[in-house]
Amino acid sequence: MVVFVTYSEEETVRLGIRMGRLLKAGDIVLLYGGLGAGKTVFTKGIALGLGSQDMVTSPTYTLMHTYKGKVPIYHFDLYRLSGPDEVLDLGYEEFFYGDGVTIVEWPERLEYLCPQEHLSVRIEMGENSQSRKVTVDAVGSRYTNVEKELESI
C-alpha cells in the first residue's frame, strides 16, 4: 500500500496521469470515496496518462463512458445501481476482462463480482477543500508492480 497527499485538483490529476502511464489492457482500477472526493478528477488523470484527449465526465446517469487512448478506457459509475444483479445486466465481463483499462467508481456495488485482482484506490478529502489523501493498494501480482513503480516515480 502506498499513500499520497495531493493539495489541488491539478495535483490529483497529475497523480492519475502517473498511474495511467503504468496501466495496460486488461487492468482494472477500483475507485473508492464519498461524493465529491475526486474520483472523476483522478479518472481524468488516468485517461490523460493513457493518451486520451477525450473529455472525461462522470457517467453517473449513463453508467459507463468509453474513451479513446492507447487502449480503450471503460469508465463505470455504479452509484445508482443497487447491487451485483444490476451490474450483471450491464454485460460488465466484456469490459472488465476485455481489451481496455476499466475504471470503476463505487465498486462497492460489485459485491461478489469484484475482480480477484485489481488496483484499489481510496480517495478521501483532506484538511481543506482542495487536498486529498489517495491510498493505492495492489490486489494481485500484476498490480504490485504498478504500485511499486508508482511509488518510485
Q: According to the model, what pLDDT value does residue 95 have?
A: 85
3-state secondary structure of 68: coil
Q: Give residue 57's pLDDT band: very low, low, confident or very high (50, 70, 90).
A: confident
Query: Residue 50 to residues 30, 113, 140: CA-CA distances in angstroms?
Result: 16, 26, 21
With respect to residue 50, please indicate whether it lies within any of the assigned structural domains: yes
User: How many domains, in total, are found in the chain?
Assistant: 1
Q: Can you read off the three cell numbers belonging to residue 134? A: 489517495
For residue 129, the model assigns a pLDDT of 84
- Is position 6 within any domain? no
- Looking at residue 29, its pLDDT comes to 98
| CB contact at 8 A, 20 and 46 | yes
Q: 20 or 85: whose pLDDT is higher? A: 20
The 3-state DSSP class for residue 151 equals helix
Over residues 128-147, the pLDDT tens digits come to 888 999 999 999 988 999 99
81 lies in some domain: yes
Give the CATH number, domain containing residue 40: 3.40.50.300
CB atoms within 10 A of CB 58: 15
With CA atoms as reference, report the closest residue to 104 among 18, 4, 32, 9. 32
Q: Can you give the residue range of the structural domain that contains 88?
A: 23-129+140-152
Q: Is the pLDDT of residue 126 over 90?
A: no
How much is the pLDDT for 119?
97
Q: Which residue has the cell 469490459?
A: 95
Domain assignment present for residue 5? The answer is: no
Q: What is the pLDDT of residues 64-118, one digit of tens each?
A: 899 999 999 999 999 988 888 888 887 888 888 889 999 999 999 999 999 999 9
What confidence category does residue 123 fall into, taking pLDDT thresholds of 50, 70 and 90? very high
What percent of the residues of the chain are helix, what percent strand, and what percent coil, each to the nearest 5? 35, 25, 40
Nearest CA to 38 out of 67, 6, 75, 70 is that of: 6
| Residue-wise pLDDT tens digits, 30-43 | 999 999 899 999 99
Strand, helix or coil for residue 31: strand
